[in-house]
Structure 1
Amino acid sequence: KAYKDRDYKFKNGRCKQAGLDHLDWAIGLTFGADYGINEDDPDYNKPTPQALSAMVIKELYLWWTETRPNRLDPHSLYDETNKVETFDKIDELETKYHQEDTDMMIKLITIRQDIWC
C-alpha cells in the first residue's frame, strides 16, 4: 500500500484523496542521484517536469472543485436602493470572474499534454 496511514474510499474507481496524495507526491519529485544528477549540477534538487506539471494540475483541480463553485454570486450584491453602484459592482465582479476563468482555461490548455488517466 503506497500510503499506509491512509484508508482510501474509492467510488466508481475514483478517490479524491488518493488523487491529491499522488499529486503531492509528484510535486515533491526533484532532480537528484536517481536521475543521474550530481550535487554540483545547477538542476540538482530542482523540481522535475513531472513535479512542475503536478503543481499546475493540482492548482487547476482545487480551483475547479473548490474555489470556483464557492465564488460569490455577483447578483447577490444587488441593492434596490443603490442600483447604479450595485450594477457597477456586479459588472466588476463578473469581469473579474470572466478573466479568472479565461486564465485557468489557458492553464488547462497549456498543461493538457501532461494530464492522463
Structure 2
Amino acid sequence: MSPILQQIEQSIRALSVEEQLWLLERIAHELRQKTQFAALPIAGFDMETQLAEMANDPAIQAELAAIKQEFAFTEMDPKRFPSQPAGQLSEAKMQEVEGTVRYCLGL
C-alpha cells in the first residue's frame, strides 16, 4: 500500500462512525456517477459540458427567472406557505433530491 493510501486510511479511522458512513456513501455515489457517465452510449456526449451550456443559455436563464418569480409568493407568507428557502435543505435531503433528479433523467 502506498504511503498516501496509508495516510488516508489513518485519517478515515480518526473519523466517527457516522462520518465514516457518510464518506463511504459519498464515495459510492461519486463512483456510481462516474461509471454511469462513462457508460453513456452516445458518442461525443459530455454531460458536464451540456449542463454548463444550459446554465449559460439566456433562454434557460429567463425561464428559471420566470419560475422563481412565479413561486416567489411562497416565501412571502411562511404561515400560509411553510417551506424552507432554497439552499436551506439539509445535506441528506439535497442528496436525496439529487438522486431522484438523476434517476428521473436516466443519469
Which one has the bigger helix percentage?
2
Shorter-chain TM range is under 0.3
For normalisation by structure 1, the TM-score amounts to: 0.26
TM-score, with structure 2 as normaliser: 0.28
Q: Rg larger in 1 or in 2?
A: 1
